Amino acid sequence: MPLGEVQLTTDKGWGCMLRCGQMVLAQALIELHLGRDWFWTPECQDATYLKIVNRFEDVRKSYYSIHQIALMGESQNKAVGEWLGPNTVAQILKKLVLFDDWCSLLVHVAMDSTVVLDDVYSLCLEGDAWKPLLLIIPLRLGISDINPIYIPALKRCLELDTSCGMIGGRPNQALYFLGYVEDEVLYLDPHTTQRTGVVGQKLRPGEQEHDETYHQKHAARLSFSAMDPSLAVCFLCKTSDSFQQLLDKLRQEVLGMCTPALFEISQTRAVDWDTAEDIEWPTMPDIDWPAGASDSDSFAIVEESAREGDAASSSKTSERAAV
């Protein structure tokens, strides 16, 4: 089915970050419902796996299809066919999971490089019950190139058992990062054009063949220094205990590895300038200025004194001017 008003029939040239968003969400759903040690095989007809892959088919009715992601992007002021960044895709996933009761997953996007704990707890806690969380932290780690001081911290993030990888890429090319070897990051590349189709229940040969297009046999490598500085680190926290363990490891093993830190963890949200009018600012005291004095007059006096006095008096005059 064509996409949007422009009736696009392909996501070639603009959909790579959308595909990376699909990858990280699919990985989170597999870990949540099938376990971290589960592996796909071409013969797999597991009912839970099929429920997951059906959600990513290229048809509009699928919860996380390219259609749904692109159309939801319009709510973020991104037209269908426009290239998206990691933060925008994260915001779209955050909305889409709310329509899928079966997935049992919530997405929190930590803005301004800060994980606000009050926001996470209000989202995931219902009484004593915890809703599984995919935590996505968008970051900007440089202007045009990634700052090398952050690379050790990124490596440590990928080592954590709650890691769901990173969505980012190299300039103008989105990639899904899932690990590293020495100074190279491992990634899956969405830039292979595939035919559209459905997996269904894998009862027909065409469905079985199409299922294979959702999987890559090999990961590629890229130097950390070649990564685009705009990326998002992702973590899956199935329980409140796993979230607390993640916080402990981030504080102890990640955030102290570089200055400034990769991101921050805060209990409450900082005051937004947009809400500054609601703050009760202290009243400024009334000051009795000398009659007839003005800013321009006082600067003229300083200027004149500086010209007429010697070096010592000039120094004193400068001190008064500063006061």
User: The tokens 């202007």 sit on which residue?
Assistant: 143
Q: What is the DSSP letter of 95?
A: H
Among residues 115, 55, 111, which one has the least CA distance to residue 88? 111
Q: Which strand (E) or helix (H) includes residue 70? A: helix 66-73
Q: How many residues does the chain have?
A: 323
Cα separation of 142 and 262, whole Å?
Answer: 11
HSE-CB at 115 with a 13 A cutoff on CA atoms is: 26
Burial 98-130 (b: 16+ CB within 10 A, else e): eeeeebebbbbbbeeeebbeebbeeebeeeeeb
Active-site residue set:
16, 189, 191
Residue 270: Cβ-neighbour burial (10 angstroms; 0-12, 13-18, 19+) = exposed
HSE-CB at 233 with a 13 A cutoff on CA atoms is: 25
Q: Which strand (E) or helix (H) includes residue 170? A: strand 163-170
